[in-house]
Amino acid sequence: MPDNYDKAMTITEKIFALHSNKDFVQPGELLEAKIDVALANDITGPIAIEKFYETGAKSVFDKSAVVLVPDHFVPNKDIKSAVQAKTLREFVKSQNLTHKFDVGTMGIEHALLPEKGIVTSGDLIIGADSHTCTYGALGAFSTGVGSTDLGCAMAAGSTWFKVPPSIKVIFEGELKPFVTAKDLILHLIGKIGVSGALYKALEFSGSAIRNMSMDGRFTLCNMAIEAGAKNGIIEPDETTKEYLENRSVRKPVFLKSDENAIYEDTIVIDASKIEPTIAYPHLPENTKTINEAIKDNIKIDQVVIGSCTNGRLEDIKMAAEILKGRKVHKDCRLIIFPATQEIILKSIELGYYQTLIEANAAISTPTCGPCLGGHCGILADNEVCISTTNRNFVGRMGDATSKIYLASPYIAAASAVLGRIGSPDEL
């Protein structure tokens, strides 16, 4: 990295400068940048592999930097999904990739890669999955790309970018009880809309972020794409460094925005006034507070807690706290998707699994499952689900007449007990 920068830059711009060997970059600039990690899953990976071979390449640019995680339809739901997973498995073997994940060792990709230390601060990461923006929680630039772009990058080790302008989002204040990172990001999306940060970097800061756990930060950055953002990012601090210690496979590079860096916009939000927030069908921007939702008396058929957004240990803990000594409503089903095997082990060790099972929850192996309407929880016609996932588009979880409401694990778990969308304060 250059010893100094002549002009002020945001953290996102500094990462691009670092990876394109430039002293200074600015929004709108087109540049070729080296990548640290290229990621794909069992849906996008087979296409990327096909495009990789079409380039004429024989081997990937770096065996430790190409990571293929079968998580969307694994364990396989049908013959086609089995073929997709087999394609990944054979490519990993033929290329002798460093990181090998399969049933029993895999997890939901955006929880697995940070957990294994494969992504770290200062990285530039691309993934053939839109929620690759999750890794911005570590102070990395990470974004989703198409399978063709990924296949070419797997061969070249670099790709082209347009440097995005940055929007600074400052969350100040202490959060109310049962308010989480999920509520903060839903509140923001409700405020600016699903196109409010289109092709921009959302840089999160403020006292509420500094006091937020690593799990919460992953949730926050994960849903930056739902506001149209190119990436979400948080400057690394002691929480980040503690998380990465003895975990990162590469030495982290800790960057921060210059004090006089230029932002396209600055949004200041009093986080102490944010209420638990629900996204109504059929867009994440269609938000209401929990008190408004309670008045609407929305009966539910299914509750999903998990995914790359809210399947981490903290999320499982939230659900267990609410469900302790209670039962899922007789007219409702609750499905929980821990994001990795390690999270499962810790949840068992801490007693969360016993609590959840005694409450009549069903617990799955790590998989993206119902989030994308894949398997393990598909909705029938006119069914209603409240979910901790990230999208609630028409037909996202099944039949086109079904409806999905997005919420935090606290609200989802309480709703499972009540049989309608409701608050822990009602229990």
Q: Whose CA is closest to 294, among 180, 407, 184?
A: 407
Q: How far is Cα of residue 253 from the mean position of the Cα atoms in its chain?
A: 22
End-to-end CA distance of the chain: 54
Rg (CA), the chain: 21
Domain 28-160, second-level architecture: 2-Layer Sandwich (3.30)
Q: What is the pTM of this model?
A: 0.94
Q: Whose CA is closest to 403, among 382, 372, 387?
A: 382
The verdict on domain 166-273 having CATH code 3.30.499.10 is yes
CATH class of 279-421: alpha beta
Return all residues near 4 (Cβ < 8 A) that are at least 6 apart: none
> What tens-digit pLDDT sequence spans the chain (427 residues)?
344 445 899 999 999 999 999 999 999 999 999 999 999 999 999 999 999 999 999 999 999 999 999 999 999 999 999 999 999 999 999 999 999 999 999 999 999 999 999 999 999 999 999 999 999 999 999 999 999 999 999 999 999 999 999 999 999 999 999 999 999 999 999 999 999 999 999 999 999 999 999 999 999 999 999 999 999 999 999 999 999 999 999 999 999 999 999 999 999 999 999 999 999 999 999 999 999 999 999 999 999 999 999 999 999 999 999 999 999 999 999 999 999 999 999 999 999 999 999 999 999 999 988 888 888 899 999 999 999 999 998 999 899 999 999 999 999 999 999 999 999 999 9
What is the C-alpha separation between 291 and 273, in angstroms, rounded? 14
Would you state the torsion angle of the CA atoms of residues 389, 66, 106, 133, taken in this order, to the nearest 10 degrees? -20
The structural domains of the chain, with segments of one domain joined by +, span: 28-160, 166-273, 279-421
What is the C-alpha separation between 138 and 122, in angstroms, rounded? 8
Topology agreement, domain 28-160 and domain 279-421: yes
